[in-house]
Structures are given as structure tokens and as C-alpha cells.
Amino acid sequence: MSPATVMEDPIHHSQANLKTERPGATPSIPPDLTSSWRQDVHFLGDKDGKVELRSPPTFNNISDTRTHLKQHLAAAFRVFARQGFNEGHSPSTAPSTTPDPDLNAACHAHSVYGKAFSCFGRPIEMLHQDALRFYNDLAVYPRYGGTVLTTEEGDRIAAALGPTCRSVILQNHGMITCGRTVDEAAFLFITLDRCCHAQLLANAAVCPGFEKKYIPDEQAEFGHRRSGNANKMWLAFQPYYEQVVKEEPGLLL
């Protein structure tokens, strides 16, 4: 699918709407900026106050919760296949115990750019805005332990995540991304693979006069909060989910 269909930064659209408002026009309905959801996804509202963004649903019974989880897991598998992430493993729920109990889902695959970048045994650099989603939020597991078949290896990888990271580069192997939802973990995986791709291109292009410039820590930290938070990552996956469900409705059966 085209990356252009991903709603990665709703603030641009909502700001554009506000800028088209004519002087003297009826004032827009003030945005409810007390909502943490709206703050996380930078939703400022629309002129008529009619646009509502979707947010993660909540359920009051385990059966509906499981159905929702299975549907989004099935969709994530299809999305990964369309992205070419068809080597290695898969999205899953209930990963090995991580230091962060809110992480309920994990994605792992041997994506081409992820595994190419994994050979360096280091995190990506803060070279562009999308990389900020991983500022101080990307660990490296420096020990290649072969195929992860034991709980001990899984626990060591989980420990490498530490108390704050959602994602980890497995040296000489690939990547794992985690999230509070399958959707968050899946979008993080897609965007991390693209960040690895971009960094490989940048590294290959370095030459005299084309040295890399890095985003300062303060701006990177701000950017991480703004563009990498869990709610925004969930929202960014919804166009992928909706497109694959529209084109393959049978996957929800």
C-alpha cells in the first residue's frame, strides 16, 4: 500500500482547516484540549466540530475483547505480508514478560532493512523526524542467540528493553517492537524498518561535504513525546487496518 494513505500527523490537516477560516466567520467550537487522547494525536478539531477521530475501543466483557484482539492480529499479519515482512516470525499478543506491564503486544520479523541494520549492533540515529519515535526508546540486544526457542532467551531480550523502551534491535537478527495494542506494535515495526532503510541510505551517501547533522536532544525528546506516543501509534495503524479489511473482508471471519 502507499505510505501516503497513513495518517501520520493529523495536526497538519486540522491546522490547514483552521487557516482557511475567513476573518469574521463564526468562531470554531473550541477544541477540548483537556482530552489526553486529543493532545496525544494533536487533534485540534475542525471548523464545524463534526470530525471525530477514532480511539482504541474498550469492552466490558472478555469475549468481545478477544474478538477485537484476534481481528487486529489477523489484520496485522496481512499488513505485514503486504509490506514484505514475510520472513521470520509475526505479530503476537502477550509477549514475554517485559519490565513495562502495559506492553501487551509484540511484532517480530526479519524485514530486509531491519536485519541489514541489525548487523551494526546499535540503535538508529536521530537523523530525521520519524526517527524521533525511537529517541531513548530503542534498545539493542547485542547477543546473537540463534532462533529464540527458550523462555530464558526471551526473558533476556525482554530485560534488554529495560523500563522505558518499546523496541529492540536484535543484533545479527532483526527487530522486535512492542506496544499496548497490536496496532501500536505493528505501526512501530513498519516505521522502524523504514527508519533503518533511511539510515542505511544516509550512511551510504556520507562523503566530504555531506556529513550527517543530528537533531539536538531537547528537540528529539519533545518530538518523541509528540510523534511517538502510544495513542498516535495506534491511530497511525488504522488506515492500514481499514484498507486490508476493506480489500480482504474474509480475514475477520
In the sheet where 174-179 sits, what is the strand order? 91-93, 105-109, 174-179, 167-170, 138-141
Q: How many chain residues interact with Zn ion (CB under 5 A)?
A: 1
Stretch that binds Zn ion, among 87-95, 98-106, 158-166, 216-224 (CB under 5 A): 87-95
Least Cβ distance, residue 85 to Zn ion (angstroms)? 11
Question: What cell was used for 21?
Answer: 477560516
Does residue 88 bind Zn ion (CB under 5 A)? yes
Least Cβ distance, residue 149 to Zn ion (angstroms)? 10
Does residue 154 bind Zn ion (CB under 5 A)? no
What residue spans of the chain are helical by DSSP H? 10-19, 36-41, 62-82, 112-118, 151-161, 182-205, 217-228, 230-247
Q: Nearest-CA neighbor of 233 among 34, 17, 76, 47? A: 76
Least Cβ distance, residue 97 to Zn ion (angstroms)? 19
Binding mask 106-135 for Zn ion (x = CB under 5 A): ------------------------------
Least Cβ distance, residue 64 to Zn ion (angstroms)? 32
Smaller CB separation from Zn ion, 31 or 88: 88
The helix (run of H) or strand (run of E) holding residue 110 is none
d(CA 165, CA 94): 16
Smaller CB separation from Zn ion, 165 or 176: 176
Least Cβ distance, residue 194 to Zn ion (angstroms)? 19
Smaller CB separation from Zn ion, 141 or 241: 141
Least Cβ distance, residue 143 to Zn ion (angstroms)? 14
Does residue 145 bind Zn ion (CB under 5 A)? no
Question: What cell was used for 144?
Answer: 546473537
Would you put residue 80 in left (φ > 0), alpha (ψ -120 to 50) or beta?
Answer: alpha
Q: Nearest-CA neighbor of 93 among 81, 102, 105? A: 105
Smaller CB separation from Zn ion, 166 or 232: 166
Q: In the complex, which residues of this chain contact Zn ion (CB under 5 A)?
A: 88
